Chains A and B, each alone.
Chain A
Amino acid sequence: MRRLYFHSLLSRAVTEPAPTPDERALAELGASLRARARARLGRSLAIREVDAGSCNGCELEIHALNNAFYDLERFGIRFVASPRHADVLLVTGPVTRNMAFALKRAFDCTPDPKWVVAAGDCACGRGLFAPSYALEGEDGAVARVLPVDLHIPGCPPTPVDLLRGLLALLEAADGRIPHAACPTC
């Protein structure tokens, strides 16, 4: 194991520079954020991930955000174990009828101010599993169940897609939305 430590000490970090926040995401977010929330959150976001029916492809890529290449925590964004500790619910879908109740409860347990991010094509309501009797509203869009502040499409979205979306959320929460992208300014 010493070899592993020495090797790590002597090699360069693999962590990559941050991508720019997603412009489209910033535009979508502008309307949903208020100054009070910005002041309270500072530059830190706690995310509770909820798989509401996904094929687990989205989870694989969300996991990757924690690896050394993307290193999500350097931005002050971290995954938490309970919705009660969360600012953001990061929901993957499609939302199944069997999971809708648990998802709503997780939302109710999340303290205000809070945001909901729908990650992946299924969560955005245009996944391959729709239409189906087993999905909320037949298409399983997260927006059928919860108010969604940000959509990150992709099948699955890549870690960079996810990161750009989350950085946009962080920027917005920090009150640093570019004027052009913020419809309320």
Chain B
Amino acid sequence: MSELLACFEGLRAEPDHHPWPRFRVDRERWLALRQGLARDRFALLAEFGEPQEVHAILFDGESLALVVASLACPTGRFPSLAVDHLPAVRFERTLRDLVGLEPEGLFDLRPWLDHGKWPLSRPLASNPGAPEVAFDYAFLPVEGEGLHQIPVGPIHAGIIEPGHFRFTASGETVVRLEERLGWVHKGIEKRLVGLDLESACRIVGRVSGDSTVAFAWAFARAAEAIAGVVPPARAVWLRALMLELERIANHFGDIGAICNDAAFTLIHAHCGILRERVLRAAHEVFGHRLMMDRVVPGGVAVDLDPGGIARLHRLVDELAPAFDKVVSAYDNTPSLLDRTAETGRVSPSLVRRFAAGGHVGRAAGRPFDSRAHLATEPYDDLGFRPVVREAGDVDARVWIRIEEVRESLRLVREILAKLPAGPVRVELPVRAGCGLGVAEAFRGEVLVWLRLDEAGRVRRCYPRDPSWLQWPLLEAAIEGNIVADFPLCNKSFNCSYSGHDL
């Protein structure tokens, strides 16, 4: 038995939680979980709360056990996991901001998403409080001779999302980066409360616009697990088709943008064309360039006709050779590789500790890909193999994307060839319960935890973007690099601000 499951020995899983088990634990077991996290025996994927309960989503990469542990906190307090497991810090600061639960022992009590601008505080608590008083955010102190600070943001120079970066540099070298996020907090979790499934799915599909298919799919999976309904095979395959097109389009964008940040605009221009071709095909075939609102609870909103299949075959035939030329340009330009190789390195141990997914994890030896390990349908019928590299630098993250584009192009071909016939949508019966859904977005695994009431409406929905576990590693990646390489490092991570800020 895995060490993670051993922590729950003798407990009965909650009968209304699907498809992975949820255990209500006492304080003692919660502390045992904290011990396990401290010793890196398993990983924390998310920590979030309801007014009377804190939940931790835990994952053991070896046995592939995924578990939700819940601790009742009638007094509004719970033992902080962050005390022994740093990846939990931002989750717990957010728990204080949004739900008002107090992590005992948490050493960083600065508000995280609450900037003191809302008309209330603790919006998800059963009794929200008066607004936070306006405050000056205290950045961590830095001491040393000749150090200077560079504040950047929230508005950045490019067409990107807002966030604040506080660099402390010694000459050209960054000695510390501290992020401050929360600027695009839209109150999504509160907004979702009381909505019907379809409306909620549309909003969850916009938690991070670039991952709309992944988020909608994860939400649909959670809803379908609660309903006890298996969506039609054709719908599952069409979802995978859209998810791979989304991945291809985003990776094209990222590869181009990374090269652009190294002042190599040729690849950027070509990747821009490739990306546009994908979006145009998506628009023609599925009716929306980003494929928003195409994945719905119970299936998909659009079917694919033979004309659409032919169109996508043409797309892939066109993209593959054009992309090979781009890759060869990347691989044969030493001045470009000089910028990306050995820049922004993240160590494999940090990546494991933070359970960072997507290109951040897979570029540093963490092989996890939820398509192979957690949400395998229909990928186990497609012979899918995750791509892994070891170096953990910008170059490795570029190569993960390159190889994933190639694998996704292959997957698209396979799906088009083997697409099962049949309906693409079923009605979901109204049922109360809790569900967890997973889907592999282009930047890592998306999780959606959902609790529905008797009327089938959302009582609590928690969408977790992979960026939560990647943002902190960006602070580590830039250390010891020069300030001018920050855009390169940042783009090679391409974390979502909106997905994080909620």
A binding-site residues for B, Cβ under 8 Å: 1, 3-5, 7, 14, 49-64, 66-69, 79, 81-82, 94, 96-102, 106, 128-129, 131-135, 140, 155-156, 158
Contacts and interface: CB of A to CB of B under 8 A. Distances in A.
Contact of B155 (A4, A5, A59, A106): A106
Contact of B115 (A5, A98, A133): A98
A55 B159 contact: no
A3 B162 CA distance: 38
B183 A98 contact: yes
B119 A133 contact: yes
B435 interface: no
B188 interface: yes
A14 B325 CA distance: 17
B159 A79 contact: yes
Interface in B101-123: 115, 117-120, 123
A80 to B, nearest CB: 9
Contacts of B161: 51, 54, 56, 59
B159 A59 contact: yes
Contact of B184 (A51, A106, A155): A51
| Highest count of chain B CB atoms <10 Å: which of A1, A54, A57, A98 | A98
Given A1-B332, A155-B292, A59 B160 contact: yes
Interface of B: 115, 117-120, 123, 154-155, 157-162, 182-188, 190-191, 202-203, 206-210, 212, 253, 266, 269-270, 272-273, 275-276, 279, 283, 289-290, 292, 325-326, 328-329, 332-333, 496-498
Contacts of A58: 209
A134 to B, nearest CB: 3
B208 A56 contact: yes
B183 to A, nearest CB: 5
A158 B289 CA distance: 8
Contact of B209 (A52, A66, A156): A156
Given A51-B160, A59-B161, A132-B186, A156 B290 contact: yes
A99 B183 contact: yes
A55 B158 contact: no
Contacts of B208: 55-56
Given A94-B186, A155-B292, 9 more contacts: A4-B326, A49-B159, A52-B184, A56-B210, A58-B209, A60-B210, A100-B117, A133-B187, A135-B187
Given A1-B332, A158-B289, A99 B162 contact: yes
B498 A54 contact: yes
Given A56-B210, A128-B203, A97 B117 contact: yes
Contacts of B115: 97-98
Given A55-B209, A69-B276, A135 B292 contact: no
Nearest to A155: B292
Nearest to A65: B159
Contact of A55 (B207, B272, B273, B283): B207
Contact of A134 (B187, B212, B290): B187
User: 8 tightest A-B contacts by CB?
Assistant: A57-B209, A134-B187, A67-B272, A132-B187, A81-B157, A55-B209, A97-B117, A55-B206
Contact of A63 (B187, B206, B253): B253
B467 to A, nearest CB: 11
A23 to B, nearest CB: 23
A1 B185 contact: no
B210 A57 contact: yes
| Highest count of chain B CB atoms <10 Å: which of A7, A67, A155 | A67
A175 B333 CA distance: 47
Contact of A60 (B162, B186, B253, B326): B253
Nearest to A48: B155
Given A3-B328, A7-B325, A96-B183, A82 B157 contact: yes
A102 B212 contact: no
A128 B276 contact: no
B238 to A, nearest CB: 21
| Highest count of chain A CB atoms <10 Å: which of B161, B190, B266 | B161
Contacts of B276: 64, 67-69
| Highest count of chain A CB atoms <10 Å: which of B159, B207, B292 | B159
A130 B478 CA distance: 37
A61 B288 CA distance: 12
Nearest to A129: B186
B188 A133 contact: no
Given A54-B498, A56-B498, A99-B154, A69 B162 contact: no
A69 B275 CA distance: 11
A129 B206 contact: yes
A50 B269 CA distance: 23
Contacts of B272: 64, 66-68
Given A55-B207, A59-B160, A82-B157, A129 B187 contact: yes
Nearest to B164: A102
Contacts of A79: 159
9 contacts: A1-B266, A1-B329, A1-B332, A60-B210, A96-B186, A102-B183, A129-B188, A133-B119, A135-B186
